[in-house]
Structure 1
Amino acid sequence: TSEAEKIDGVVKIFTSKDVASNCHGVVFKDQEVFTSKKVKRIGDPIALVIAEDEKICSLALQKIKVNYEKIEGIFDPIEAMKDDAPKIHDGSNVFYHYKLRKGNIKKGFEESYVIAENTYKTHMVDHAFLQPEAGVSFIDENGRLAVITATQYPHYDREEIAHTLKIPEESIRVINANVGGAFGGREDITLQIHLALAAHTLKRPVKIVYSREESFYAHCKRHPITMKYRTGADKNGKLLALEAEIIGDSGAYASWATNVLRKSGVHATGPYYIPNVKIDAYAVYTNNPFTGAMRGFGATQVSVAYEQQMDILAEKLGIDSIDMRIKNIFKKGSETATGQILTEGVPIEECLEKVVNAMTYYPVREGAN
């Protein structure tokens, strides 16, 4: 950074050596404020240039030289689960395993008249909110460090700032601006700590606004999930067994993966009663962009699998796919795979019937049971 620091108008360039505690993360402290030794994904922050204007910042960034040593990466979560795969962090790349067991899965498949077995994959998705990450930080009239930004978790942000700067939480104010679009994409730290560090160190106001490209690099994505499903039913279309292996690509950092993959496992059976269930859901580190919160929180992805399984089973049995669903759908008093008894607010059958009746393009269900 020495050449960049000589440029007139550059106030300071921050790197990992300027951070009191160089780690953060909403569940696990596995992210660095600035990369110290190892880049784990495209988008890892290495340096922050504070200058008098944007043009000087851009010029200084061009003068910063980084020497990289190429190391082997891993981008397939299934390959990353192997013992000999390159490790993203210390220890196994598999950092979370959710297990769900109900009934006798072996007996359930033995009694099944038809079985559908398939693998489904969903892809990574960006939230693509209209306004990029932006914020202002300053020392307020009471001597407290203030950070104004759009965030979904101002209380967590304050904890993270206090932890990394090693200053008391009560000396920090996080003021939530109009959030606008977020959809889960503003639940992790992006520029909050950088803003706070600069204002706290320099004792002057600091403003950061990400470009659209920087925004894409900085925030999390929806988890791509690979789902291996095996579902069995009797000759009348009643579901008897479901076994699923769900593998979530967490990218380089954990973020909310433990919650997301747990919810994928909990919702893996969909809105259907199934007496015999075996679910294994895994969160896996790779060198891909990190994934985190996004609308649905893991329940969205598994619907791709369990609903296609229902269509396939209905086709195998020659049963109308809507009738197949109604035979198995949750009703008041139903028991979920986790053992919860649904005592109220279960109007799914009524909703499905009304949707079907309103569908002008749905074929006439002649001969349907």
Structure 2
Amino acid sequence: MTTTRPDTSDGVARPVTADGVGVSARRPDAVSKVRGDFVYSSDLWHDEMVWGATVRSPHPHARVLSVDASAALAMSGVHAVLTAADVPGVNRYGLERRDQPVLADDVVRYVGEPVAVVAADTPELARRAAARVRVAYAELPAVTDPTRALAGPGLHEGGNLVRHLRIRRGTPRPADVVVTGEYEVGMQDQAFLGPESCLAVPAGDGVDLYCSTQWLHIDQDQLADCLALPKESVRLTLSGVGGAFGGREDLSVQAHACMLALRLGRPVKMSYGREESFSGHVHRHPARMRYEHGATNDGKLVYVKVDILLDGGAYASTSAAVTGNAGCFAIGPYEVPAVEVDCRAVYTNNPPAGAMRGFGAVQVCFGHESQMDKLAAALDMDPVELRLRNAVDTGSVMATGQRVEGPAPVAELLRRVAGKPLPPPASDDLRLLPGGTSNATRAEHLVRGVGYGLSVKNICKSAGYDDYGTARVRIYAHEGEPAAEVHTAAAEVGQGLVTVQAQIARTELEVRRVTILPADTAVGDAGTSSASRQTWMSGGAVRAACLAVRAALLERAAARFGEPARDLVYGPVVTAPSGRCVTLAELLEDGDVDETAVFRHRRTQVLDPETGQGDAHVAYAFAAHRAVVDVDPELGSVRVVEIACAQDVGKAINPVAVEGQMHGGIAQGLGLAVMEEIQVREGRILNPSFTDYLIPTTMDMPPTALDILELPRADSPYGLTGVGEPPLLSAPAAIAAAIRDAVGVALDRIPITPETVATAVLDYCPDPIP
């Protein structure tokens, strides 16, 4: 049933267990999700509950003069209307800065900002009551251009600059060839399956909240202050999460539902529709970037200068951290002796921006990879060769002065995608042509392009953050055999973390039956399900707790045998050198073993405020993409024919889940490259639905050629590296490069729409295409 192999993280032999580490284990929620009977937070129900609805601002910037709820309260079945005056505690929350009101008090700063909340017997009645709440506003000038925001009137005390990261390393020397470029990335939505929803139940001294989130304990911290309750009186339990991708890091419905539940003394459910969801969560930061690359005639980079401006929207959310990531990775996975980076995020009256998969590294990847293609053209050099000549490796120094300590197989990743055979030419099958069956494209009108992208991003929290995970593991006897129970607060948001925790417990404890308890705040903090960190951090905590359980069981056996625990061999049957043995089930006759462990990675440093230098990151992850596209230059329509992706994962804990992460990242990258953008005009979202905000379907997704490298690290559990974000990072850049290669014109903004392509081609070549 089991064999043995070395575990590269500590040199100790570990069994290869059925559904253990390294095996493609089946997700426990797979069948119910496919059948449609998985219980999401929007499916929660309580017989005594009422429904909440939100009154939102129609203005991007205005002073709130008055709120009149009399007409709403006069409606039969309406139980409460709460405003800023009813917030029990501090009327501010936020992940990095507590700058966002629970309910707007004096000023609204974006379209859709919550002003009041209503509770009624039915969801439709709650919505109709919300429409009857009369709010008087005095409109104020809206600041919607991030460049103007830098010098414009302050939307918050202290001005509009959220953060300015400066990175200075080395002294630029003259270059033989210099290329410059200006690039833009539009606002992307996380487009998760399940809109925001929760159920708040008043209980005893506080409230029990069942919600979909990415970080239970940070929600608890903020809610306790807003509700004027001790943290232990605000108890959170994770409900079924329909995707997250960063959009559930910030509070949305949580505080509103809790306020209503505490006021009424009865359960309150809130659930957004899709249009409201577009206002109810943060989005990817739109970016404007200016680059200058200098190189020698043989293609070695001499210096890179970058200026980045991120539109943070109305509130800070994670803009400061996103600024840090964008600045740190602005030059990409390349060795550059002289670097000058300025990265700023500003407040505007646009919808708030915050965390989204890739967290700043996606935007700058489009910039630095576009520059590498432009530089290759100026040098008349193959773009793959140019990248290979400058790729970082283990021991290389990054822009922040930090040396790459772990595996950095950048050149190998690029060679792998570049070496794959190209797909065959386009056929006459309309389903496989740009525009599909609804368009008039024909194969003979198409041009094909190939493009490449390399990316780098940090794994886990950075810049001095005390990042840790907590896990409790109990082993007990169940029907005559040992069984384990794992309890963490780690949010399963669709990434397969529940499966990973069970795999680790099976491997370390060598038991078949493992139960993963619901994530809640009754156990210690697990940190956020973001930064590609949970398998490393919570997985590390589960492993540490399992090792503590093993040690306790060996001590029990040692007491029975009268032999030192260090000489015993752990397994389903614990054996001693003397030949004596005892089963785990027999050891558990003396009672359960219950251990809690906290796992931390090594400490990192805050970047120097003047130079941006410092050992800020725990680890780096790298990926390479190659995109092949067919383009109809006249219509501007694009078909992504194939995407190849190579990624170093350290150790694939669940190989099939790693493949799933790669497919998902490529899909989101494709969306950003050619179709996904929240259209904002004068602060208003123009396309808040999946009818108008386009995301890739199965018909848009091309075949993918995946290469998973397992180069174990020395500093992580099982040698693993976070896998969630890298497969997205350079996919948009590679697709954009392929489209440029096909049509031969500059395309410096993503997403690249058919109109963009057709207009650019017409401007470059005004004569009709034959």
1:109-124 equivalence runs, <5 A: 111-124=174-187
Could you tell me how far 1:143 is from its partner in structure 2?
Answer: 4.1
1:126-175: per-residue Cα shift (whole Å, max 9, x none)?
111111111101123x5441000100011011111110111100111011
> 1:96 corresponds to which residue?
163
Return the structure number with greater relative CO, CA threshold 8 A, min gap 6.
1
AA aligned opposite 2:113 = D
Task: Please state whether the residue corresponding to 1:81 is helix, strand or coil.
Answer: helix
Unmatched segments (≥5 aa) in structure 1:
364-369
RMSD between aligned alpha carbons? 1.3
Does 2:127 correspond to 1:58? Answer: yes
1:274-289 equivalence runs, <5 A: 274-289=336-351
1:25 to 71, 86, 94: 94
Could you tell me how far 1:54 is from its partner in structure 2?
Answer: 1.9
Could you tell me how far 1:347 is from its partner in structure 2?
Answer: 1.0
1:291 to 329, 353, 364: 353
Task: Please state whether the residue corresponding to 1:137 is helix, strand or coil.
Answer: strand
1:37-52 equivalence runs, <5 A: 37-52=106-121
Does 2:195 correspond to 1:128? Answer: no
Does 2:130 correspond to 1:67? Answer: no
AA aligned opposite 2:195 = P
1:246-288: per-residue Cα shift (whole Å, max 9, x none)?
1110000000011101000000110000000010110100000
Q: Residues 73, 239 of structure 1: CA spacing in aligned structure 2 closer, same or farther, 3 A cutoff?
A: same
AA aligned opposite 1:35 = A
Please identify, of 149-158 and 89-98, the stretch whose mean Cα deviation from structure 2 is larger.
89-98
AA aligned opposite 2:235 = R
1:244-259 equivalence runs, <5 A: 244-259=306-321
Q: Residues 359, 229 of structure 1: CA spacing in aligned structure 2 closer, same or farther, 3 A cutoff?
A: farther
1:293-336: per-residue Cα shift (whole Å, max 9, x none)?
00011011101111111111111111111100000001122111
AA aligned opposite 1:14 = L
> 1:301 corresponds to which residue?
363
2:211 to 145, 149, 174: 149
Report if the CA contact (8 A) 2:283-2:356 is conserved.
yes
Report if the CA contact (8 A) 2:150-2:346 is conserved.
yes
Task: Please state whether the residue corresponding to 2:167 is helix, strand or coil.
Answer: strand
> 2:235 corresponds to which residue?
173
CA distance in structure 1 between the aligned counterparts of 2:126 and 2:296, rounded to whole angstroms: 67
CA distance in structure 2 between the aligned counterparts of 1:209 and 1:81, rounded to whole angstroms: 36
> 1:11 corresponds to which residue?
79
Task: Please state whether the residue corresponding to 1:157 is helix, strand or coil.
Answer: helix
Please identify, of 350-359 and 294-303, the stretch whose mean Cα deviation from structure 2 is larger.
350-359
Does 2:150 correspond to 1:81? Answer: yes
Please identify, of 266-275 and 343-352, the stretch whose mean Cα deviation from structure 2 is larger.
343-352
Report if the CA contact (8 A) 2:103-2:114 is conserved.
yes
AA aligned opposite 2:108 = V
AA aligned opposite 2:188 = V
Does 2:201 correspond to 1:138? Answer: yes
2:260 to 198, 213, 216: 198
CA distance in structure 2 between the aligned counterparts of 1:360 and 1:128, rounded to whole angstroms: 31
AA aligned opposite 1:76 = D
CA distance in structure 2 between the aligned counterparts of 1:23 and 1:132, rounded to whole angstroms: 23
CA distance in structure 1 between the aligned counterparts of 2:97 and 2:405, rounded to whole angstroms: 36
Report if the CA contact (8 A) 2:162-2:346 is conserved.
yes
Larger radius of gyration: 2
Task: Please state whether the residue corresponding to 1:251 is helix, strand or coil.
Answer: coil
AA aligned opposite 2:368 = Y
Report if the CA contact (8 A) 1:145-1:172 is conserved.
yes
1:81-131: per-residue Cα shift (whole Å, max 9, x none)?
01xx132112210121111110013xx2xx200111111110001111111
> 1:366 corresponds to which residue?
none
Report if the CA contact (8 A) 1:73-1:86 is conserved.
no
Report if the CA contact (8 A) 1:147-1:173 is conserved.
yes
> 2:438 corresponds to which residue?
none
Q: Flag as ranges the 4+ runs of structure 1 deviating above 3 A.
A: none
AA aligned opposite 2:193 = L
CA distance in structure 2 between the aligned counterparts of 1:122 and 1:146, rounded to whole angstroms: 40
Task: Please state whether the residue corresponding to 1:47 is helix, strand or coil.
Answer: strand
Normalising by structure 2, we get a TM-score of 0.46
Report if the CA contact (8 A) 1:72-1:86 is conserved.
no
Report if the CA contact (8 A) 1:112-1:232 is conserved.
yes
Does 2:285 correspond to 1:223? Answer: yes
> 1:208 corresponds to which residue?
270
AA aligned opposite 2:105 = S
AA aligned opposite 1:102 = R
CA distance in structure 1 between the aligned counterparts of 2:131 and 2:418, rounded to whole angstroms: 59
Task: Please state whether the residue corresponding to 1:116 is helix, strand or coil.
Answer: strand
Could you tell me how far 1:359 is from its partner in structure 2?
Answer: 4.1
CA distance in structure 2 between the aligned counterparts of 1:307 and 1:27, rounded to whole angstroms: 30
> 2:328 corresponds to which residue?
266
CA distance in structure 2 between the aligned counterparts of 1:200 and 1:343, rounded to whole angstroms: 51
CA distance in structure 2 between the aligned counterparts of 1:278 and 1:19, rounded to whole angstroms: 46
Could you tell me how far 1:41 is from its partner in structure 2?
Answer: 0.2
Task: Please state whether the residue corresponding to 2:136 is helix, strand or coil.
Answer: coil
Could you tell me how far 1:56 is from its partner in structure 2?
Answer: 2.0
Could you tell me how far 1:199 is from its partner in structure 2?
Answer: 1.1
- Give me the identity figure in percent: 39
CA distance in structure 1 between the aligned counterparts of 2:71 and 2:405, rounded to whole angstroms: 68
2:392 to 330, 333, 352: 330
Aligned residues: 356
CA distance in structure 1 between the aligned counterparts of 2:406 and 2:156, rounded to whole angstroms: 45
AA aligned opposite 2:147 = I
AA aligned opposite 1:98 = L
CA distance in structure 2 between the aligned counterparts of 1:181 and 1:27, rounded to whole angstroms: 23
Task: Please state whether the residue corresponding to 1:98 is helix, strand or coil.
Answer: strand
CA distance in structure 2 between the aligned counterparts of 1:343 and 1:281, rounded to whole angstroms: 25
CA distance in structure 1 between the aligned counterparts of 2:215 and 2:380, rounded to whole angstroms: 50
Report if the CA contact (8 A) 2:162-2:319 is conserved.
no
2:303 to 241, 246, 255: 241
